[in-house]
Structure 1
Amino acid sequence: MVIPSIVLNFLFPPPSSLFVTTMTLVSFSSLTNAGYKETKGKNMQYSKFLNVGVAKKEKEIKETKLSSRNGMFLFYAPSFLVGLTSFFIFPDQDLRFVLLVSALTVHFFKRVLEVSFIHKYSGSMALESAIIVPMSYTLSTATMIYAQFLSREVPEPLVDLKYVGIGLFFIGTIGNFYHHWLLANLRKKGDKEYKIPKGGLFDLVICPHYLFEILSYVGISSISQTPYAFSFTLGTIFYLTGRSYATREWYLAKFGDKFPKNVKAFIPYIF
Structure 2
Amino acid sequence: MENMAQKFIFPPHSVFVTAMSVISFGAGLYIGFNEIIGKHLQYSKLFNTKIYRSGDQSEAKQPITVPGRVGMLIVYTPAFLVGLASFFLLPGTGLRFFLLRSGLTVNFLKRILEVLFVHKYSGRMGTEAITVITLGYFLGAATAIYTQHLSRDLLEPSVDLKYAGILLFVLGITGNFYHHCVLSNLRGKGEKEYKIPKGGLFNLVICPHYLFEILVFVGLSFIAQTLYSVCMAMGAALYLMGRSYATRKWYLSKFEDFPKDIKAIIPYVF
Q: Under TM normalisation by the shorter chain, which class is it? A: over 0.9
Displacement of 1:100 in angstroms is 0.2
1:24-72 residue CA offsets vs partner (Å, 9 max, x unmatched): 11111111100001000001110011116x4x44794442101000001
After TM superposition, what 4+ stretches of structure 1 lie above 6 angstroms from structure 2? Answer: none
* TM-score when normalising by structure 1: 0.95
Q: Match for residue 82 of structure 1?
A: 82
Contact 1:10 1:225 in 2 (8 A): yes
Q: Match for residue 92 of structure 2?
A: 92
Contact 1:176 1:208 in 2 (8 A): yes
What is the CA RMSD across the aligned residues, in angstroms?
1.3
What does 1:1-271 align with in structure 2 at a 5 Å threshold? 3-16=1-14, 18-51=15-48, 54=50, 56-57=51-52, 60-256=60-256, 258-271=257-270
Using the alignment, how far apart are the partners of 2:168 and 2:233 within structure 1?
A: 13
Using the alignment, how far apart are the partners of 1:39 and 1:88 within structure 2?
A: 41
Shift in alpha-carbon separation, 1:62–1:148, aligned structure 2, 3 A: farther
1:135-191 residue CA offsets vs partner (Å, 9 max, x unmatched): 110001000000000001210000000011001000000000000000000001110
Paired AA for residue 261 in structure 2? N
Using the alignment, how far apart are the partners of 1:236 and 1:218 within structure 2?
A: 9
Using the alignment, how far apart are the partners of 2:219 and 2:53 within structure 1?
A: 39
Name whichever structure is richer in helix by fraction.
1
Contact 1:62 1:126 in 2 (8 A): no
* Secondary structure of residue in 2 paired with 1:66: strand
Q: Match for residue 57 of structure 2?
A: none
* Secondary structure of residue in 2 paired with 1:153: coil
Contact 2:120 2:184 in 1 (8 A): yes
Displacement of 1:222 in angstroms is 0.2
**Percent of aligned positions with the same letter in both sequences?**
55
Displacement of 1:19 in angstroms is 2.3
Paired AA for residue 22 in structure 1? A
Paired AA for residue 137 in structure 2? Y
Using the alignment, how far apart are the partners of 2:264 and 2:73 within structure 1?
A: 26
* TM-score when normalising by structure 2: 0.95
Listed as ranges, the gaps of 5+ residues in structure 2 are 55-59
Shift in alpha-carbon separation, 1:58–1:85, aligned structure 2, 3 A: farther
Paired AA for residue 118 in structure 1? V
Contact 1:165 1:223 in 2 (8 A): yes
1:229-257 residue CA offsets vs partner (Å, 9 max, x unmatched): 0001011111111000000000000112x
Shift in alpha-carbon separation, 1:121–1:20, aligned structure 2, 3 A: same
Displacement of 1:20 in angstroms is 1.8
1:79-109 residue CA offsets vs partner (Å, 9 max, x unmatched): 0110001001111321100000000000000
Contact 1:82 1:141 in 2 (8 A): yes
Using the alignment, how far apart are the partners of 1:77 and 1:93 within structure 2?
A: 26
Using the alignment, how far apart are the partners of 2:53 and 2:217 within structure 1?
A: 34
Contact 2:36 2:243 in 1 (8 A): yes
* Secondary structure of residue in 1 paired with 2:240: helix
Paired AA for residue 33 in structure 2? Y
Paired AA for residue 10 in structure 2? F
Using the alignment, how far apart are the partners of 1:132 and 1:266 within structure 2?
A: 23
Contact 2:18 2:227 in 1 (8 A): no
